[in-house]
Amino acid sequence: MSKIYSKIAIIGIGLIGASIALAARRAGLVDHIIGCDADPAVGVEADELGLIDEFTTDAVAAVADADLVIMAVPVGALGPLAEQIIPAMKQGAVLTDTGSTKRSVIRDVSPHVSPDIHWLPSHPLAGTEHSGPAAGKVDLFDGRYWIVLPLDAPEEVVVTFEAFVTGLGATKERMDPDYHDKVLALTSHLPHLIAYTIVSTATDLESQLKNDVIRFSASGFRDFTRIAASDPVMWRDVFINNDEAVLEMLQRFSEDLSYLQRAIRWGEKDKLEELFHRTREIRRSIIDAGQS
């Protein structure tokens, strides 16, 4: 694929930032990648892995000549970061993020945006429980959706960024921020909250039972522990910044859980079987959509 941007700056070289660098190199989308992280050790690791062309711990210096700046940091850090770097960005540069909430990100970043740059929030729907530069995967975005929120950006700017996203292997999708946060509250945020809770329950069990739960873990519990191993700071910020949508979905889940409890208590086999049939169809739909 042909080059999309001459120089990009990736602030935050964790799973997502590292994967963007790897996928951009694979597709030849950029000439030069600047990596930035507050931890100097990250720069050493990123250089050893061949992720970037240049590294700095100074975010202002990182963005100075970049055509595209990607803020791949926890959503709670985006506002202060944007305030710091936007004055240093060159005219016409594009600023995006990879955060899992969008209303809070727009609220925190938009007040700092100048007319000289193009602010284009986005969110790749991809990830693993691993973190750090070594967690990067060249194929992390392949076949996954990447949500783009155009806001007031010119159409040609949006189209160019979408070409970059598809070049990384993702499928572009435009979305409204409120709708995004509701959808993600159910498809991503609530499952993580449930996983954290189930694993937390296991830690509160008496010693022998907890040991045997760990020793005899079936695939279902192992899946929950994988999800619950995700970055604590990132998910803390997600729940705090998407509280309204998460609480709404949590209330719906609680009501459905009460229905299930009653069906089990009263031995209502038909209700249980009907529910399990319906939920199996959702799994089939996910597989058919290529998102399994």
Question: Which tens digit of pLDDT belongs to each residue from 233-264?
Answer: 888 998 998 899 899 999 999 999 999 999 99
Q: Tell me the per-residue pLDDT of 136-158, one tens digit each, with 9 for 90 and over.
A: 999 999 999 999 999 999 999 99
Q: In the chain, what percentage of residues exceed pLDDT 90?
A: 68
Question: Can you give the pLDDT at residue 291?
Answer: 66
Rounded Cα distance between 248 and 240, Å, is 14
Q: Tell me the per-residue pLDDT of 159-171, one tens digit each, with 9 for 90 and over.
A: 999 999 999 999 9
Q: What is the pTM of this model?
A: 0.86
For residue 201, count other CB atoms closer than 10 A to its CB.
11
Q: Is the pLDDT of residue 114 over 90?
A: yes
In this structure, the chain runs to a length of 292
Question: Can you give the pLDDT at residue 292?
Answer: 60
Please report, to the nearest 10 degrees, the dihedral formed by the alpha carbons of residues 124, 184, 200, 252 taken in order: -170
Q: Is the pLDDT of residue 57 over 80?
A: yes
Domain ranges of the chain: 5-175, 179-288
Rounded Cα distance between 99 and 184, Å, is 11
Which CATH number is 179-288 given? 1.10.3660.10
Q: Reply yes or no on domain 5-175 having CATH 3.40.50.720.
A: yes
